[in-house]
Structure 1
Amino acid sequence: MTVDRFKWVLGVCMIMPLAILAKESLPYRDAKLPVDQRVEDLLSRMTLEEKVAQMRIFHANKGIEFSDDDQMVLSEDVVGRLEHGIAGIKNPGEEISPLRAAKLNNELQRYIVEKSRLNIPALFVTESYNGVDAEGCTRFGRPINMAAAWDVELTRSVWDVIGREARLRGMHMCHSPEADIVRDPRFGRMSEALGEDTYLTTEMIVAAVTGVQGGYGGTGWNTTHIGAVTKHFAGYGQVLGGSNFAAIEISDRTLIDEIFPPFKGAVQRGHALGIMASHGDLNGVASHANPWLLTEVLRNQWGFKGYIVSDSNDIARLHDFMKVAESHEAAVEMALRAGMEIDLYSDLAYVHLTKMANQDPGLMPFIDRSVGHVLRTKFILGLFENPYVDLNEVGKEVRKPAALELARRMDRESIILLKNKKQLLPLNGAKHKKIALLGPLLDQEAEKQFEKAAGPGVTFSSMKGFCLTDEQSGIPKLVEVDDGIIEKMVNQARDADLSILFLGGDEYTAKEAYFKAGLGDRNSIDPVGCQDELVKRIKALGKPVVVVLKHRRTLSINVIAEQADAILDCWDLSEFGEEIVANMVYGAYSPSGKLPVTVPRTIGQLPFHYSQKEINYKKDYLFSKKGPLFEFGHGLSYSTFKYGEPEISGTEMDSNSRLTVGVDVTNTGNYAAKETVQLYVKDVIGSVTRPDKELKGFRKIELQPGETQSVAFTITPEMLTFTGMNMKPTLEPGDYHVMVGTSSADHQTVAFRLNGSKNIAAR
Structure 2
Amino acid sequence: MEKKRFTRTAIACALMALAGAAQADVSQRVEALLRQMTLDEKVGQLNQLSGKDFSTGPGSGKVRDIERDIRDGRIGSMLNIRGAAETRRVQALALQSRLHIPLLFGLDVIHGYRTVFPVPLGEAASWDLDAIEESARIAAREASAAGVHWTFAPMVDIGRDPRWGRVMEGAGEDTYLGSRIAAARVRGFQGTKLGGLESVMATAKHFAGYGAALAGRDYNAVDMSEHQLYETYLPPFKAAADAGVATFMNSFNTLNGIPATGNAMLQRDILKGRWGFKGFVVSDWGSVREMVVHGYANDLPDAAAKAITAGSDMDMESSAYASSLANLVRSGRVDVKFVDDAVRRVLTKKFELGLFDDPYRFSDPAREKAALADPRHRAAARRIAAESMVLLKNDGGALPLRKDARSIAVIGPLADARRDLEGGWIVDSNAATMASLVDAVRTHAGPGTRVAYAAGCDVACRGTDGFAAALDLARAADVVVLAVGESWDMSGEAKSRADIGLPGRQAELFDALKAIGKTPVVVIMAGRPLIFENVAQGANAILYAWHPGSEGGNAIADVLFGDVNPSAKLPMTFPRNMGQIPIGYQQYQTGRPVLDNGNSVYRSAYIDSPNTPRYAFGHGLSYTTFAYGDLRLSSTRMTPDGKITLQFTLTNSGRVAGAEVVQFYLRDPVASVVRPVKELKGFQRIALKPGEHRTVSFTVDRDTLSFFDRKLAWGAEPGTFELMVGSASDDIRLRQTIELTGP
Give the TM-score, by structure 1 length.
0.88
Work out whether 1:657 is the aligned partner of 2:657. no
Q: Give me the whole-angstrom Cα distance separating, in 2, the residues matched to 1:607 and 1:414.
A: 24
AA aligned opposite 1:342: M
Q: Which residue of 2 aligns with 1:5?
A: none
Deviation of the 1:399 alpha carbon: 3.9
Q: Give me the whole-angstrom Cα distance separating, in 2, the residues matched to 1:341 and 1:703.
A: 49
Q: Give me the whole-angstrom Cα distance separating, in 2, the residues matched to 1:222 and 1:54.
A: 23
Q: How does 1:694-713 map to 2 (within 5 A)?
A: 694-713=679-698
Change (3 A) 1:452 1:362: closer
1:280 corresponds, among 216, 228, 253, to: 253
- Asked whether the equivalents of residues 142 and 572 of structure 1 are also in contact (C-alpha less than 8 Å), the reply is yes
Q: Which residue of 2 aligns with 1:61?
A: 52
- Asked whether the equivalents of residues 525 and 555 of structure 1 are also in contact (C-alpha less than 8 Å), the reply is yes
Q: How does 1:130-141 map to 2 (within 5 A)?
A: 130-132=111-113, 137-141=114-118
Change (3 A) 1:738 1:303: same
Q: How does 1:655-694 map to 2 (within 5 A)?
A: 655-694=640-679
Q: Which residue of 2 aligns with 1:754?
A: 740
1:38 counterpart SS class:
helix
Work out whether 1:49 is the aligned partner of 2:49. no
Deviation of the 1:557 alpha carbon: 1.6
Q: Give me the whole-angstrom Cα distance separating, in 2, the residues matched to 1:162 and 1:420.
A: 34
Q: Which residue of 2 aligns with 1:79?
A: 67
Deviation of the 1:584 alpha carbon: 1.5
Q: Which residue of 2 aligns with 1:109?
A: 91
2:471 counterpart SS class:
helix
Q: Which residue of 2 aligns with 1:455?
A: 446
Q: Give me the whole-angstrom Cα distance separating, in 1, the residues matched to 2:322 and 2:739.
A: 55
Q: Which residue of 1 aligns with 2:506?
A: 531
Q: Which residue of 1 aligns with 2:80?
A: 91
1:130 counterpart SS class:
coil
AA aligned opposite 1:263: F
1:44 counterpart SS class:
helix
Q: Which residue of 1 aligns with 2:107?
A: 126
CA shift digits 1:9-60 (9 cap, x unpaired): xxxxxxxxxxxxxxxxxxxxx9795222211111110011100100011000
Change (3 A) 1:362 1:528: closer
1:749 counterpart SS class:
strand
Q: Give me the whole-angstrom Cα distance separating, in 1, the residues matched to 2:694 and 2:477.
A: 42
1:178 counterpart SS class:
coil
Q: Give me the whole-angstrom Cα distance separating, in 2, the residues matched to 1:33 and 1:742.
A: 49
AA aligned opposite 2:410: L
Q: Which residue of 2 aligns with 1:438?
A: 411
Work out whether 1:175 is the aligned partner of 2:156. no
Work out whether 1:146 is the aligned partner of 2:123. yes
Q: Give me the whole-angstrom Cα distance separating, in 1, the residues matched to 2:63 and 2:516.
A: 62
Matched length: 689
Work out whether 1:587 is the aligned partner of 2:572. no
Q: Which residue of 1 aligns with 2:267?
A: 294
2:335 counterpart SS class:
helix
AA aligned opposite 2:286: N
Change (3 A) 1:335 1:62: same
Q: Which residue of 1 aligns with 2:303?
A: 331
Runs of 4+ more than 6 Å apart: 64-67
Q: Give me the whole-angstrom Cα distance separating, in 1, the residues matched to 2:244 and 2:176.
A: 18
2:338 corresponds, among 355, 366, 389, to: 366
AA aligned opposite 1:756: G
Deviation of the 1:726 alpha carbon: 2.2
Deviation of the 1:544 alpha carbon: 3.4
Q: Give me the whole-angstrom Cα distance separating, in 2, the residues matched to 1:395 and 1:74.
A: 32
Q: Give me the whole-angstrom Cα distance separating, in 2, the residues matched to 1:525 and 1:308.
A: 34
Q: Which residue of 1 aligns with 2:531?
A: 556
Q: Which residue of 2 aligns with 1:203?
A: 180
AA aligned opposite 2:268: T
Deviation of the 1:577 alpha carbon: 0.6
Q: Give me the whole-angstrom Cα distance separating, in 2, the residues matched to 1:221 and 1:35.
A: 13
- Asked whether the equivalents of residues 668 and 705 of structure 1 are also in contact (C-alpha less than 8 Å), the reply is yes
Q: Give me the whole-angstrom Cα distance separating, in 1, the residues matched to 2:326 and 2:359.
A: 27
Q: Which residue of 2 aligns with 1:629?
A: 614
Change (3 A) 1:366 1:626: closer
1:484 counterpart SS class:
coil
Work out whether 1:395 is the aligned partner of 2:369. yes
- Asked whether the equivalents of residues 46 and 321 of structure 2 are also in contact (C-alpha less than 8 Å), the reply is no
1:379 counterpart SS class:
helix
Q: Which residue of 2 aligns with 1:157?
A: 134
Q: Which residue of 2 aligns with 1:37?
A: 28
Q: Give me the whole-angstrom Cα distance separating, in 2, the residues matched to 1:546 and 1:204.
A: 31
Q: How does 1:397-546 map to 2 (within 5 A)?
A: 397-430=371-404, 432-444=405-417, 445-469=436-460, 479-481=461-463, 483-513=464-494, 520-546=495-521
Deviation of the 1:175 alpha carbon: 0.7
Q: Which residue of 1 aligns with 2:6?
A: none
Structure 1 stretch 576-585 or stretch 230-239: which is displaced more?
Answer: 576-585
Q: Which residue of 1 aligns with 2:229?
A: 255
Give the TM-score, by structure 2 length.
0.90
Deviation of the 1:741 alpha carbon: 1.1
Q: Give me the whole-angstrom Cα distance separating, in 1, the residues matched to 2:625 and 2:530.
A: 27
Runs of 5+ unmatched residues, structure 1: 1-29, 68-72, 94-100, 470-478, 514-519, 758-763
Q: Give me the whole-angstrom Cα distance separating, in 2, the residues matched to 1:717 and 1:176.
A: 32
Deviation of the 1:730 alpha carbon: 2.5
Q: Give me the whole-angstrom Cα distance separating, in 2, the residues matched to 1:630 and 1:711.
A: 26
- Asked whether the equivalents of residues 34 and 344 of structure 2 are also in contact (C-alpha less than 8 Å), the reply is yes
2:205 corresponds, among 231, 236, 255, to: 231
Q: Give me the whole-angstrom Cα distance separating, in 1, the residues matched to 2:196 and 2:560.
A: 42
CA shift digits 1:215-273 (9 cap, x unpaired): 22xxx7444311011100011010000001111012111110111010001001x1111
Q: Give me the whole-angstrom Cα distance separating, in 2, the residues matched to 1:166 and 1:151.
A: 23
CA shift digits 1:513-566 (9 cap, x unpaired): 1xxxxxx21112222211111111101222331000101111112111111110
Task: Name the Cα RMSD after superposition.
Answer: 1.9
Deviation of the 1:655 alpha carbon: 1.7
Structure 1 stretch 57-66 or stretch 333-342: which is displaced more?
Answer: 57-66
1:179 counterpart SS class:
coil
AA aligned opposite 2:234: F
Q: How does 1:344-355 map to 2 (within 5 A)?
A: 344-355=316-327
1:182 counterpart SS class:
coil
- Asked whether the equivalents of residues 57 and 342 of structure 1 are also in contact (C-alpha less than 8 Å), the reply is yes
- Asked whether the equivalents of residues 279 and 314 of structure 1 are also in contact (C-alpha less than 8 Å), the reply is yes
Q: Percent identity?
A: 35
- Asked whether the equivalents of residues 144 and 193 of structure 1 are also in contact (C-alpha less than 8 Å), the reply is yes
